[in-house]
Amino acid sequence: MKHRYLKNVTTLKLGQSKCTGCGRCIEVCPHQVLAIVDSKCSIIDKDSCIECGACVKNCPFNALEVRPGVGCAAAVIKSWFTGEEPSCDCSSSGGCCS
Ligand code: SF4
Ligand code: SF4
């Protein structure tokens, strides 16, 4: 079964105009978040992104952005291991983990 995280919380962003369609990000993504559609990278399953940053590190054209390990998705994952309530930077501003 595929992992699912909170909807629309990942910080993943794609600047498709910079993308050459090389496919490197797709090779390294552990959760099949990305795919080549019409010769360009496309985010096909955003809510499966765990903000690991592998795609960003491996994109030769800086077409991808993510804040690895600081977003709500990371907070939720950490809570699974610690058994505590999810807590991340956005709680003070009334975000999803407050
Ligand atoms: S940050 Fe990680 S999980 Fe998210 S799209 Fe990039 S490689 Fe995939
Ligand atoms: S690694 Fe970068 S340039 Fe290559 S397909 Fe992915 S987003 Fe596009």
This prediction has a pTM of 0.73
Q: How far are the Cα atoms of 3, 21, 68 from residue 24, in angstroms, in the given order? A: 22, 8, 18
Measured distance CA(96)–CA(30) in Å, rounded: 25
Cβ–ligand 1 distance for 66 under 6 Å, the answer yes
Q: What is the pLDDT of residue 75?
A: 65
Task: Tell me whether residue 94 is in a domain.
Answer: no
Distance CA 62, CA 74 (A): 22
Is ligand 2 within 6 A of the CB of residue 35?
no
What's the angle, vertex CA 49, arms to CA 58 and CA 20, rounded to 5? 40
Kindly state whether residue 56 falls inside one of the protein's structural domains.
yes
User: Is 4 within the bounds of a domain?
Assistant: no
List the pLDDT tens digit at each of the 98 positions of the chain: 566 666 777 899 999 999 999 999 999 999 999 999 999 999 999 999 988 999 999 999 999 999 876 555 666 666 777 777 666 555 444 444 44
Sign of CA dihedral 84, 95, 48, 14: negative
The ligand with the least distance to the CA atom of 50 is 1
Any domain includes 39: yes
Does 21 contact ligand 2 (Cβ within 6 A)?
Answer: yes
Provide the domain count of the chain. Answer: 1
Q: Is residue 2 part of a domain?
A: no
User: What pLDDT score was predicted for residue 68?
Assistant: 75
